Amino acid sequence: MADKAGIHVTYLSGVERGLRNPSIRNVRRLAQALGLPTRYLFSFDEPSS
């Protein structure tokens, strides 16, 4: 995932564990790596079934 997003694996690990706060740029990179629109990562709505 880190390679696909173009970020360091240690940085991603810190984000996943809540030790680091990603910049908007890195949020965008992660969303692109997941194939999602960036706004999806900021959505607080429950997904519909």
pLDDT at res. 27: 96
Nearest CA to 5 among 25, 34, 29? Answer: 29
Model pTM? 0.80
SS (HEC) of the chain: CHHHHCCCHHHHHHHHCCCCCCCHHHHHHHHHHHCCCHHHHHCCCCCCC
pLDDT tens digits, one per residue of 7-41: 999 999 999 999 999 999 999 999 999 999 999 98
Q: Report the chain's terminal Cα–Cα distance, integer Å.
A: 26
